[in-house]
Structure 1
Amino acid sequence: MNEEDANARPTEVDFAQLARPRAPGEPMTDKDFVAAKRVVDAYWPKFRTPRTLPEKWQ
C-alpha cells in the first residue's frame, strides 16, 4: 500500500469493496482499510478536525 493509493479519490470500486459482506471473524484486507480511509477523508473531514472537550461530550 503506497501513499499515492491512500490519497486517491474514492471510486465505485472502493464503495463495493467496503460493502462486501464478510464472514464472521474474517479480517479486513489492506484494500478495505485504504477504501475506508478514502471515504472518511472525502466525505467526513470533520472527523479529522480537532474538537474541544465540551463539543466531544455532546
Structure 2
Amino acid sequence: MPVRIRGGFATLGVALKPGAVSMLKGPDVADTLDRIIYYDDIFGDHTWGTSEQLMK
C-alpha cells in the first residue's frame, strides 16, 4: 500500500509489559479485556501520566 506524506510526520508507540498496569496502580486487568481505553483516561490525573508529558 503506497503512502505519501507531505510536511512533518511524527509517531509514538507506547507498550506496557505484563505487570506494568498493576505496578502503576492502573485498572484491574480483567476490567480492560476486549476494550480500548485511552491512556489519559487511566493515568491523566498524574502529572507524569498525560499523553502530552509522554511526548515531551
**TM category, shorter:** under 0.3
Q: Provide TM-score, normalisation by structure 1.
A: 0.23
Q: Provide TM-score, normalisation by structure 2.
A: 0.24
Q: Which has the higher contact order (CA 8 A, sep 6+)?
A: 1
Larger radius of gyration: 2
